[in-house]
Amino acid sequence: MKDSELKRLLEQTQEVAKSVGAFIRKERQHFDVKNVEHKGFNDLVSYVDKEAERQIVDHLSTIFPEAGFITEEGTNTTRSEVFNWVIDPLDGTTNFIHGIPVFSVSIALMERDEVILGVVYEINLHECFYAIKGGGAFCNETPIQVSSAPNLAASLIATGFPYYNFEQIDKYLAALKSLMQSTHGLRRFGSAAVDLAYVASGRLEGFFEYNLNSYDVAAGALIVQEAGGKVTDFLGGGDYIFGRQIVATNSKIHDEFLIELNRIWSA
């Protein structure tokens, strides 16, 4: 895809994310928890998630009809051999339901197995983080970059707590115990897309989580990389989009972070 075409798509995707974000923000003002459905144990969804995804799919189908879709709510599951949109219409649904103001719209575009465009719109602060492959990372038109913290001891780390798959709970708690004692602290915001955007903008030095899906991380991972950060799976490899585990850092702490994480995870 030509750079000019990708830049045009980026601008249009930002507008889609902001438009759908405005819909979500409006619905939050009068949202009733009676409208919550359960996809599985502690896996919540509402009409807002579904309608937001429908709007995103409709808009993206118009601006780039050649692309297929990977969607959280299954609004459109038609895949393309080359281009696919990867969409989380409301990342942080539990926060949204409970009125906690950390949730976002996450939209990525993949060309085969590579993410080439990413937009994360944090709805409550009106912050739009975005990047295209090779074009740097931005928030509301201002360039962003990862932090310069040199080691874990100088780092603030984010993660996500397991909420339905507890198979690795003991290892997870051991990792939290270790990081509590070796960093500036841990944060759990409840939106992986926002966590990654905050690593990209230097607010956090690192983020890790397991049991995530492609639509949780695709956009944010590209934004981190374009901001100068590093993204891998737990073993330091590249299987973080579909491999259900991710470590994203400012690059400087990455090796130290992986060593400590794997010391615990492989025990």
Spatial separation of the C-alpha atoms in residues 155 and 249, rounded to whole Å: 10
Full DSSP string of 145-169: ------SGGG-EEEE---SS--TTH
By residue count, the chain amounts to: 267
Distance CA 19, CA 143 (A): 22
| Inter-axis angle of helices 254-265 and 169-182, nearest 10 | 140
Phi–psi pair at 207, nearest 5 degrees: -150, 135
Say if residue 216 carries a ligand binding annotation.
yes
Residues 67/69/70/72 CA torsion (nearest 10 deg): 150
14 vs 193: CA distance, rounded Å: 15
Q: Is 43 assigned to a binding site? A: no
> Any binding-site annotation on 90?
yes
88 marked as binding residue: yes
Asked whether the beta carbons of 152 and 170 are under 8 A apart, the reply is no
Determine if residue 66 is labeled as part of a ligand binding site.
Answer: no
Which residues line the annotated binding site for Mg(2+)?
72, 88, 90-91, 216
Q: Known binding site: residues?
A: 72, 88, 90-91, 216
